[in-house]
Amino acid sequence: MRVISYNLRKNHASGEIAGLVDDYDLDVLCLQEADTSELPAEVGDLHLADSTKRNRLGLALYYRKSRFTAVSTTAFALKKSLHDRVLSPAHERLLGTRLIDTETDRGLVVASFHAAPLTALNSLRRNQIRAAHEELRTLGEGVPALMVGDYNYPLFKENLSEHVQEAGYDLTLSDTMTYTNYKFFKGHFDFATSMGLHIEGVSTLPRGASDHMPILITADYEAPVAAPYSS
């Protein structure tokens, strides 16, 4: 499956969505910092599963209806940073959708995630990531899961990877930096965490109107564990 995650920079890059869907033959599109009141219900072959309603910087998730059936979608509020409490940019920082893949008859949970900004501590973002992974389990315990988005975590990713693995997830960075707006904060801000999936690659796509570059995740299901032979 092919999934793109894109932080639209306060909706500035919204005009690029249709081109990304067409150019990369997507199965899922996850957005952050979108003006959800302006999002279309359909983009090319993709259908809007849902979007957050109480955010200035909204989340949205699209999926290919010819391949997937959406079972449920839920938006989750995570622990707030001081920035959130003062400026209220985002009440819900996680949007998860339970899908059924009609090609394989397998369940899948996909989520769009937007961590607290750099004004917050890494410890708070780790708390948000851990809580997000726990919330996704409520959509499907034991179901393969992919959480993509803007993690706002440019430094000390080795430490983050260890915490993520303790929760049963893997962390996969893109092949090049995804954020280059600020002189001292270049790096891999946008990446993927996953469970029960083989991530074939995460590619940084060309820069558009956003300060983040889109990332393209190519993934497949891990082979199920074979049952022991018995006579």
DSSP string, the chain: -EEEEEE-TTTTTGGGHHHHHHHHT-SEEEEEEE-GGG--SEETTEEEEEE-SS-SSEEEEEEETTTEEEEEEEEE--PPPHHHHHH---S--EEEEEEEETTTTEEEEEEEEE---TTS-HHHHHHHHHHHHHHHHHH-TTS-EEEEEE----S-HHHHHHHHHHTT-EEE--SS-SB-SSTT--B--EEEEEESEEEEEEEEPPP-SSSBPPEEEEEEEPPPPPPPP--
Dist. CA 141–CA 195, nearest whole Å: 11
Question: What is the structure's pLDDT at 36?
Answer: 93
Question: What is the structure's pLDDT at 122?
Answer: 86
Note the pLDDT tens digit of each residue in 74-113.
Answer: 999 886 655 554 455 557 899 999 999 999 999 999 999 9
Q: State the fold for domain 2-221.
A: Deoxyribonuclease I; Chain A (3.60.10)
Single pTM value for the model: 0.91
pLDDT at 227 over 60: no
